[in-house]
């Protein structure tokens, strides 16, 4: 793990934890910070000792939106040349489970970062939203796409057009997040879930993640073909042999990720 300006990273029991750490500006995501987050996700994705990646903020905030001061002088041409959202696309290539743990607010780019994760666990006081319309712009790192896939076109339009925030309870009801817990229990519950996943067969998790994420963009026929291909691939792993033998032996399997 390298030295970072805006994040902290720890590893424990097969779980890599990335903590956003720019508290003086409520973890507003400047470009350097996004580069660090994604770069470390890729490092942990390659790390054979890590099976699950968690992204978390602080007690009162996950992350505000993009760093507005950094964007004040941007122009269409400067943005085209810089292509600041290309780094976000790399998150979709992470093979291991990604969990976002959200306390406080996750707005704009902060909400988009959470939506890029596979699972979102939130404290009861968490708030989610896209206030970009109030600045004369719009989400640009996937917010319109991820939110629409999660809650449907009409509700997504309403939330993004109005620029309002939704509570954790509303986000759970609309299928935007997975679980809501007491704020003081967020870390414990997130790590409990992460440890459950870390004990699963890593190759199975990877193949399942690919099939589920592709389900929305493939036809049913093509999606079924991918599912079956991945099902067959699982049988080339030692973990498949271990899992089925453990079942027959009535013992807990010990998965190695090979």
The set of catalytic residues is 66, 109, 112, 132
> The tokens of 10 are what?
């720890």
Q: What is the DSSP string of 77-100?
A: HHHHHH-TTHHHHGGGG--S-EEE
Task: Give the pair of three-digit tokens for residue 242.
Answer: 């271990």
- Tokens representing 206 are 């990877």
Q: Provide CB contacts within 8 A for 92, sequence distance 6+.
A: 116, 213
Residue 50: both structure tokens together: 């890590």
- Give the rounded distance of the alpha carbon of 5 from its chain centre: 21
206 closest CA partner among 88, 45, 49: 45
The radius of gyration computed from the CA coordinates of the chain, to the nearest angstrom, equals: 19
> Reduced to 3 states, what is the DSSP secondary structure of residue 204?
helix
- Token pair listed for 189: 């519950």
Instruction: State residue 71 phi and psi, 5-degree precision.
Output: -95, -5
Pairing of strands 179-181, 119-123: parallel
Instruction: Give the residues across from 56 on adjacent strands.
Output: 19, 101
SS3 128: strand
For residue 20, the cross-strand partners are: 7
Tokens representing 179 are 């679980």
């Amino acid at each position: 793990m390298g030295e970072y300006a805006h994040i902290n990273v720890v590893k424990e029991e097969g779980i890599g934890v990335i903590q956003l750490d720019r508290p003086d500006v409520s973890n507003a995501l400047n470009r350097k910070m996004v580069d660090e987050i994604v770069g470390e996700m890729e490092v942990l994705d390659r790390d054979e000792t890590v099976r699950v990646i968690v992204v978390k903020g602080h007690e009162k905030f996950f992350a505000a939106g993009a760093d507005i001061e950094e964007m004040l002088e941007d122009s269409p041409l400067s943005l085209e040349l810089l292509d600041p959202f290309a780094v976000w696309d790399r998150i979709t290539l992470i093979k291991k489970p990604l969990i976002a743990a959200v306390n406080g607010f996750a707005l704009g780019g902060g909400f988009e970062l959470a939506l890029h994760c596979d699972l979102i666990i939130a404290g009861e006081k968490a708030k989610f939203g896209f206030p970009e319309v109030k600045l004369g712009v719009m989400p640009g790192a996937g917010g319109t796409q991820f939110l629409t896939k999660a809650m449907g076109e009409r509700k997504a339009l309403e939330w993004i057009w109005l620029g309002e925030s939704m509570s954790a309870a509303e986000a759970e009801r609309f299928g935007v997040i997975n679980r809501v817990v007491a704020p003081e229990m967020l870390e414990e519950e997130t790590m409990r879930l992460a440890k459950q996943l870390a004990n699963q067969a890593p190759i199975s998790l990877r193949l399942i993640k690919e099939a589920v994420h592709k389900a929305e963009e493939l036809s049913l026929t093509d999606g079924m073909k991918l599912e079956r291909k991945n099902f067959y691939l699982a049988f080339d792993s030692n973990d498949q042999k271990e899992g089925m033998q453990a079942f027959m032996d009535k013992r807990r399997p010990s998965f190695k990720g090979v």
